[in-house]
Structure 1
Amino acid sequence: MTEILFYHLTESTLENALPGLIERSVERKWRVVIQTGSEERRDSLDNHLWTWSDASFLAHATDLEPYPEEQPIILTTGDGNPNGATVRFLVDGAAPRNVEKYDRLVLMFDGHDQQQLEQAREQWKALKAEGHTLTYWQQNAEGRWEKKA
């Protein structure tokens, strides 16, 4: 059964929060696919992940580059799984599909964006109605994740 986690950004941006979560996934030897809501966001995150930390390196590629199956992390706008990932991150309103093909599905949404909040609520309801077990994480004042449901 796929573990489905909702991450509610309230204290930091996606650019600040996502790399740490990806890094922990890769440390666990999980392959990761990150689905964005637009090509512009995919390309922006691609650039950001190369430079996000002087102390860390996240080897990755976009779905436009050759040999995606060799990449531990792929950024895409589509719903495919070009690197055989077991973990899928959905950001900026990307819709979950083929949920059962992953060990973990992580939906991240900006708490300051009303459209993303509403979309996350609808996704929660739909996934819950399908019988999935869901967990909800929200940032505290220090930006740490706290399990709320």
Structure 2
Amino acid sequence: MTEVLFYHLTDSTLDDALPGLVERSLARGWSVVVQTGSEERRDALDLHLWTWRDDAFIGHGTDRDPHAADQPVLLTTGTDNPNAAAIRFLVDGAEPPALDGYERAVIMFDGHDQAHVEAARRHWKTVKAAGHQATYWQQTPERGWERKA
């Protein structure tokens, strides 16, 4: 079964937290797919990952690109896995597809957005019912992560 981590953002934005997690995934040798809840969020992340730090960028593509399967990091609004990613990030309220076949899935949600919190609770129940191992991580004031469940 897939390991599913729920990351509760309380002290930073998705734009602050996601790039570092994607970098760590790439360092493990994993290809990455990031599923967004909207085309607007996908396009904003597309721009952000090129400029998120002055001294670094994350090479990536989107599901609109002709060679999506060749991307180490793919941003999508869809539920498929064209780059054979080992890890799937779900952000901005994206609905999880079947998660079998991934090493890990990460559901990131904004603790200040009640709709995202409610969606995460719903996803928790669905993930557990599917037999996946789920853990809940809350962001600390230092912007680290503390396991709560």
Alignment TM-score > 0.5, same fold: yes
| 1:51-90 equivalences in 2 (<5 Å) | 51-90=51-90
Of 6-15 and 139-148, more deviation after overlay is shown by: 139-148
Q: How many residues align?
A: 149
Q: Does the residue aligned with 1:100 lie in a helix, a strand or coil?
A: coil
2 CA distance for matches of 1:8 and 1:55?
27
Q: Does the residue aligned with 2:128 lie in a helix, a strand or coil?
A: helix
Q: Does the residue aligned with 1:89 lie in a helix, a strand or coil?
A: strand
CA RMSD, Structure 1 to Structure 2 (Å): 0.8
Match of residue 29 from structure 2: 29
Match of residue 145 from structure 2: 145
Compute the displacement of 1:62 (Å): 0.5
1 CA distance for matches of 2:130 and 2:68?
31
Q: Percent identity?
A: 62
Compute the displacement of 1:130 (Å): 2.1
Consecutive unaligned residues of structure 1, counting only runs of 5 or more, are: none
Consecutive unaligned residues of structure 2, counting only runs of 5 or more, are: none
Q: Does the residue aligned with 2:108 lie in a helix, a strand or coil?
A: strand
Taking structure 2 as the reference length, what is the TM-score of the superposition?
A: 0.97
Compute the displacement of 1:57 (Å): 2.2
Query: Could you give the per-residue CA deviations for residues 29-75 of structure 1, whole angstroms, max 9, x where no partner exists?
Result: 10000000000000000000000012222110001011112110000
| 1:45-124 equivalences in 2 (<5 Å) | 45-124=45-124
Taking structure 1 as the reference length, what is the TM-score of the superposition?
A: 0.97
Match of residue 134 from structure 2: 134
Query: Could you give the per-residue CA deviations for residues 68-106 of structure 1, whole angstroms, max 9, x where no partner exists?
Result: 121100000000111110100000111111210211110
Q: Does the residue aligned with 1:55 lie in a helix, a strand or coil?
A: coil
